[in-house]
């Protein structure tokens, strides 16, 4: 079909209406198909994607670039194909926009294979049903919300609770030990965040195995709405053609939903009762269902999800929940208490947390940790009103275990070393289980809670305690010496006064 269109020349139409990013055009010699890319403007620099057919000759499209300078009567050309992006190993180490153009200031990528950003999800017969745990090196996640290889995990939280920092730490932890390709997709990303991410990947020495795709916050909603599809097309090449595993990190899915809402509003569609587009569910599914694993390889996705006003009943959060195999919920309350990462252990969950997948020991320890923390949560009201002394001896022991578990599940990050001055830690899942088990068995009942705060493995608590004891002994010794010096000075002064008399 594309070859026949090329032979008879491109279809040329006329712009009949321009309303912000929405453009209507008439094609008297044949109407372009839905999703076809159109070009207009003086240098054909304005790109429009067909979204609707108004009649047998008129299309309505959404502009992926600025429409400044576009007027009624302008010529518009059908490219005869959907928006395409390059694929292949030549993408590694580069930064792209939604059009597949490089934006890192290096040589542009031309020629070679380019594929449509609109691909069908894999049929069920090509997917595999076996489950495998994907380790992150972050204690709270590996213990209570283990990720699935080839699955989708969501980082839920409001503004300022640490979603981007957690994603950057996962990149650092997994990118070095991850044998496949890492692909970062920034949807509605700020320039500062994009530069920080690029520097982090480059400084980690893994830029050669990474592809970055950005739809910036200042770009039109159409570009932000399609950048996720562009990134998935690149990821699918490495999975299906190169038979490699792909780690796909998306920041953030809410901005994808938000850009879809903007597009829907521009097209004149009536919103739902809570203000979102009526096609929210299908648009999100169109993106999420392309993330899957096959016998050849897997696309494992970790997605940041902004939760408006911390309301987890918001439709954007509810619809996203349905697609995930693991949900990591970040708590503003825990962040205010200094527990970083601010993961809520009682609200976070994973379908992998079952005995036949993670093992009986892991399952039992995780359940006991949750039970201990839940009991402590229930007792907080009594403690605040009556005090800890009014609890039974068993409840006091439970509270002490829970407080030590809360502090042990904090962890210093590599990406925040420059701010905290604490060396970042990557902790193996078995060491996390060992530490929690020993705390539950009251092995660290005599330790200060501060000894368990911001450490990696549990053995570092003993090192921290020893250092604190040395400091205390040193301070006590210095204080004793100071007192002796004061006493000696006083005696000398008295002796001088006696001699003077």
Task: Render pLDDT for 7-22 as a digit per residue (tens, 0 to 9).
Answer: 455 789 999 999 989 9
What pLDDT is recorded for position 207?
84
- Kindly report the backbone phi and psi dihedral angles of residue 424, in degrees, each rounded to the nearest multiple of 5, phi listed first: -65, 150
What pLDDT is recorded for position 354?
95
pLDDT at 196 over 90: no
Q: Identify the band that residue 199 occupies on the pLDDT scale cut at 50, 70 and 90.
A: confident
Q: Which residue has the tokens 């108004």?
A: 54
Task: Render pLDDT for 144-193 as a digit per residue (tens, 0 to 9).
Answer: 999 998 899 999 988 888 887 888 888 777 765 666 788 999 999 888 88
User: Where is 38: in which H helix or E strand?
Assistant: strand 36-40
Q: Identify the band that residue 482 occupies on the pLDDT scale cut at 50, 70 and 90.
A: low
What pLDDT is recorded for position 485?
65
Task: Determine contact, residues 104/94, Cβ cutoff 8 Å.
Answer: yes
Query: 303: Cβ–Cβ under 8 A, 6 or more apart, which residues?
Result: 152, 153, 154, 155, 249, 250, 251, 252, 253, 320, 324
* Beta strands 95-96 and 133-134, pairing class: unpaired
What pLDDT is recorded for position 494?
62
Please identify every residue annotated as catalytic: 163, 189-190
Name the residue among 247, 236, 229 with its Cα closest to residue 179: 247
Token code pair at residue 330? 């970040």
What pLDDT is recorded for position 481?
62
End-to-end CA, the chain:
119
Over range 97-107, report the average pLDDT: 93
Task: Render pLDDT for 227-279 as a digit per residue (tens, 0 to 9).
Answer: 999 999 999 999 999 998 899 999 889 999 999 999 999 998 888 878 899 99
Name the residue among 419, 379, 418, 420 with its Cα closest to residue 398: 379
Q: Which residue has the higher pLDDT, 4 or 454?
A: 454
Over range 432-444, report the average pLDDT: 95
pLDDT at 355 over 90: yes
448 to each of 329, 339, 442, how far by Cα in Å? 28, 16, 13
Over range 196-205, report the average pLDDT: 80
Over range 86-115, report the average pLDDT: 94
DSSP β-bridge partners for residue 85: 115
Q: Identify the weakest region by mean pLDDT among 88-102, 175-189, 223-237, 416-430.
A: 175-189
Q: Identify the band that residue 500 occupies on the pLDDT scale cut at 50, 70 and 90.
A: low
Q: Identify the band that residue 417 occupies on the pLDDT scale cut at 50, 70 and 90.
A: confident
**pTM (two decimals):** 0.83
What pLDDT is recorded for position 6?
40
């Amino acid at each position: 079909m594309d070859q026949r269109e090329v032979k008879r020349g491109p279809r040329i139409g006329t712009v009949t209406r321009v309303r912000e990013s929405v453009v209507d055009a008439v094609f008297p010699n044949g109407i372009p198909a839905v999703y076809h890319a159109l070009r207009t403007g003086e240098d054909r620099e304005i790109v429009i994607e067909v979204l609707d057919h108004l009649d047998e000759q008129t299309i309505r499209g959404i502009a992926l670039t600025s429409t400044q300078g576009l007027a009624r009567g302008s010529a518009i050309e059908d490219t005869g194909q959907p928006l395409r992006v390059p694929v292949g190993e030549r993408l590694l180490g580069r930064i792209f926009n939604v059009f597949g153009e490089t934006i890192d200031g290096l040589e542009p990528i031309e020629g070679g294979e380019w594929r449509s950003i609109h691909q069908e999800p894999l049929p069920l017969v090509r997917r595999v049903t076996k489950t495998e745990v994907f380790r992150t090196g972050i204690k709270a996640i590996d213990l209570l919300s283990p990720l699935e290889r080839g699955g989708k995990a969501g980082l839920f939280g409001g503004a300022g609770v640490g979603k981007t920092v957690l994603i950057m730490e996962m990149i650092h932890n997994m990118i070095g030990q991850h044998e496949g390709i890492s692909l970062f997709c920034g949807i509605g990303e700020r320039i500062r965040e994009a530069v920080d991410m690029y520097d982090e990947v480059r400084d980690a020495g893994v830029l050669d195995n990474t592809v970055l795709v950005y739809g910036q916050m200042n770009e039109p909603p159409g570009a932000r709405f399609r950048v996720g599809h562009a990134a998935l097309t690149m990821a699918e090449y490495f999975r299906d053609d190169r038979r490699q595993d792909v780690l796909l990190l998306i920041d953030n899915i809410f901005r994808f939903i938000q850009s879809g809402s903007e597009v829907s509003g521009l097209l004149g569609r009536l919103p739902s009762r809570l203000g979102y587009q009526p096609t929210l569910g299908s648009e999100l599914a169109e993106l999420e269902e392309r993330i899957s694993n096959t016998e050849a390889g897997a696309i494992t996705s970790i997605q940041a999800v902004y939760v408006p006003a911390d309301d987890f009943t918001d439709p954007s959060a509810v619809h996203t929940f349905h697609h995930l195999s693991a949900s990591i919920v970040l708590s503003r309350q825990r962040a205010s208490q200094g527990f970083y990462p601010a993961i809520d252990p009682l609200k976070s969950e994973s379908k992998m947390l079952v005995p036949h997948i993670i093992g009986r020991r892991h399952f039992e320890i995780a359940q006991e940790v949750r039970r201990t923390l839940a009991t402590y949560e229930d007792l907080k009201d009594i403690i605040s009103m009556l005090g800890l002394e009014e609890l039974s001896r068993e409840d006091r022991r439970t509270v002490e275990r829970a407080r030590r578990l809360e502090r042990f599940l904090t962890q210093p990050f590599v990406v925040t070393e420059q701010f905290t001055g604490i060396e970042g830690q990557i902790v193996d899942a078995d060491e996390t289980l060992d530490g929690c088990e020993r705390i539950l068995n009251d092995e660290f009942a005599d330790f200060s809670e501060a000894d368990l705060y911001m450490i990696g493995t549990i053995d570092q608590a003993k090192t921290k305690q020893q250092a604190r004891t040395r400091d205390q002994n040193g301070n006590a010794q210095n204080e004793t010496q100071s007192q002796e010096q004061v006493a000696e000075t006083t005696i000398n002064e008295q002796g001088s006064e006696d001699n003077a008399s």
